[in-house]
């Protein structure tokens, strides 16, 4: 068990109250928090009100163990909930059916992190201005939400990315999406948008009503779903890994949420759902055209093959930086000389490449053809 705890007495008190424990005010005069639960008879939680008390950390550890037994959860899970008391927390669990090495490709792991960020940005932009496609995800409120979010410790099980954000991190006052959210702060509303949009999308895939979902979203004045959110979800899948994904949300205990939302099960996105999600992404996005330009990016993966002359050439995967600050993965084929430059750039810290070609629309990694130039940009150059 982690003994380096940073849990405030008031947070421990508020967590207990949120789970049905009742404060005994008479004990405050003795600088103690005492809480009881009518349904548990004589059981009590007792701990100091002051972090400077000699036995404070020991008391927190003891209380966490007692709560773990009552809630039938591991102690580590209770401690994590205490530390995330005021946060809405998103868990992205990557399921891989067969993975003897218990690992993920580094490029895919980076894609999952980028997808989580885009998921939050998309939901926040929908709170500010609901629409089927957000041309830019750079709104100030959306960036503030991402800046306030925390990358939490991973959990037991398959690969889990956990991101939390203090529910009162932003003060933005904006039009409401639903009357029952009158008192919901911005972060809570963004988390609800994320949850409802993904459930609506997965439900449509399972019920075979995707065309109806696309039509409703296009016609709605304030849609939950956006092409940007769909694109973010596609980043959680890798064809070579062949994974599925499970999304779940823990709601900040200090800010009540509707019971039908709080009690909803996790959302499982099976491997075969991802092509459908990409179809929705493209259907909701205004018609994309081929873009012939010079791009700057990084080399993410080398998939070339040995040629008869003993040199490698062929496919590489790039991460290209677009003018609107969006990053897209693109697959292209390089000559032996270009491939050698790509290999050096891939192995050099902070090295970028400049490539001129035709970027095609579609699912990532997108196709980059007609490569006219490919040049490494070395650090400090």
Claim to verify: residue 105 and residue 144 sit in the same structural domain = yes
Contacts of 76 (CB under 8 A, 6+ apart): 1, 2
Work out the pLDDT band at 100, boundaries 50, 70, 90. low
Task: Let me know if residue 4 belongs to a domain.
Answer: no
Task: Let me know if residue 363 belongs to a domain.
Answer: yes
Work out the pLDDT band at 101, boundaries 50, 70, 90. low
pLDDT digits (tens, 9 = 90+) for 324-366: 667 888 999 999 999 999 999 998 888 899 999 999 887 778 8
DSSP-H helix ranges across 97-226: 106-128, 140-148, 186-207, 210-219
- How many angstroms separate the CA atoms of 320 and 317, rounded? 10
Among 28, 58, 83, the domain-final residue is 83
Give the residue from 241, 248, 264 showing the smallest Cα distance to 92. Answer: 248
At residue 96, does pLDDT exceed 60?
yes
At residue 69, does pLDDT exceed 90?
yes
At residue 157, does pLDDT exceed 50?
yes
Q: What total of structural domains would you count in the chain?
A: 3
In this prediction, residue 108 carries a pLDDT of 87
Work out the pLDDT band at 12, boundaries 50, 70, 90. very high
At residue 118, does pLDDT exceed 90?
yes
Angle at 198 between CA 192 and CA 204, to 5 degrees: 130
pLDDT digits (tens, 9 = 90+) for 286-320: 866 778 899 999 999 999 999 999 999 999 999 99
Claim to verify: residue 112 and residue 233 sit in the same structural domain = yes
Claim to verify: residue 63 and residue 144 sit in the same structural domain = no
- How many angstroms separate the CA atoms of 327 and 316, rounded? 16
Percentage of residues in the chain with pLDDT exceeding 90?
62
pLDDT digits (tens, 9 = 90+) for 18-59: 999 999 999 999 999 999 998 988 899 999 999 999 989 999
Task: Let me know if residue 156 belongs to a domain.
Answer: yes
Task: Let me know if residue 336 belongs to a domain.
Answer: yes
In this prediction, residue 179 carries a pLDDT of 47
Domain span including residue 44: 9-83
Claim to verify: residue 116 and residue 263 sit in the same structural domain = yes
64: exposed, middle or buried (Cβ count in 10 Å: 0-12, 13-18, 19+)? buried
The three-class DSSP label of residue 162 is strand
Task: Let me know if residue 150 belongs to a domain.
Answer: yes
Among 34, 55, 83, the domain-final residue is 83
Among 83, 107, 127, the domain-final residue is 83
- Average pLDDT over the chain, rounded to an integer: 88
What mean pLDDT comes out for the span 54-65? 92
- How many angstroms separate the CA atoms of 33 and 12, rounded? 9
Task: Let me know if residue 44 belongs to a domain.
Answer: yes
Claim to verify: residue 249 and residue 368 sit in the same structural domain = no
Task: Answer for the pair 347, 310: CB distance below 8 angstroms, yes or no.
Answer: no
pLDDT digits (tens, 9 = 90+) for 189-238: 999 999 999 999 999 999 999 999 999 999 998 899 999 999 999 999 98
pLDDT digits (tens, 9 = 90+) for 238-282: 888 889 999 999 999 888 888 878 888 999 999 999 999 999 998
Task: Let me know if residue 1 belongs to a domain.
Answer: no
At residue 110, does pLDDT exceed 90?
no
Claim to verify: residue 75 and residue 134 sit in the same structural domain = no
Q: What is the pTM of this model?
A: 0.75
Claim to verify: residue 27 and residue 176 sit in the same structural domain = no
Q: What is the DSSP string of 264-308?
A: PPPEEE-GGGHHHHHHHHHHHSPPP--EEEEEEEEEEEE--EE-T
Q: What is the CATH number of the domain that holds 319?
A: 2.40.50
In this prediction, residue 1 carries a pLDDT of 47
Claim to verify: residue 143 and residue 260 sit in the same structural domain = yes
């Amino acid at each position: 068990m982690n003994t380096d705890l940073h849990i405030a007495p008031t947070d421990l008190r508020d967590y207990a109250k949120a789970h049905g424990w009742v404060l005994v005010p008479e004990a405050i005069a003795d600088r103690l928090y005492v809480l009881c639960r009518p349904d548990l008879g004589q059981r009590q939680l007792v701990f100091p009100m002051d972090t400077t008390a000699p036995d404070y950390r020991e008391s927190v550890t003891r209380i966490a163990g007692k709560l773990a037994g009552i809630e039938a959860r591991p102690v580590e899970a209770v401690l994590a909930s205490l530390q995330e008391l005021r946060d809405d927390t998103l868990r992205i669990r990557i399921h891989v059916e067969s993975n003897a090495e218990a690992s993920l490709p580094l490029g895919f792991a980076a894609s999952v992190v980028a997808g989580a960020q885009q998921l939050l940005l998309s939901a926040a932009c929908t709170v500010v201005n609901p629409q089927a496609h957000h041309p830019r995800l750079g709104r100030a409120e959306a960036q503030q939400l991402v800046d306030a979010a925390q990358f939490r410790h991973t959990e037991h099980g398959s690969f889990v990315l956990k991101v939390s954000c203090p529910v009162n991190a932003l003060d933005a006052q904006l039009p409401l999406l639903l009357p029952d959210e009158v008192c919901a702060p911005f972060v809570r509303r963004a988390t609800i948008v994320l949850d409802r949009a993904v459930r609506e999308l997965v439900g449509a895939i399972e019920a075979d009503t995707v065309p109806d979902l696309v039509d409703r979203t296009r016609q709605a004045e304030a849609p939950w779903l956006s092409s940007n959110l769909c694109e973010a979800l596609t980043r959680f899948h890798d064809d070579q890994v062949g994974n599925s994904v499970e999304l779940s949300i823990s709601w900040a205990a200090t800010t009540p949420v509707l019971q039908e939302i709080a009690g909803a099960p996790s959302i499982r996105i099976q491997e075969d759902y991802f092509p459908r999600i990409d179809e929705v992404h493209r259907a909701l996005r205004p018609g994309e055209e081929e873009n012939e330009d010079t791009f700057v990016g990084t080399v993410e993966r080398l998939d070339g093959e040995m040629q008869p002359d003993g040199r490698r050439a062929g496919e590489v995967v790039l991460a290209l930086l677009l003018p609107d600050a969006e990053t897209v993965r693109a697959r292209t084929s390089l000559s032996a000389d270009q491939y050698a430059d790509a290999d050096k750039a891939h192995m050099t810290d902070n090295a970028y490449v400049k490539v001129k070609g035709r970027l095609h629309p579609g699912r990532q990694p997108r196709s980059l053809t007609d490569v006219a130039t490919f040049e490494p940009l070395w650090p400090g150059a």
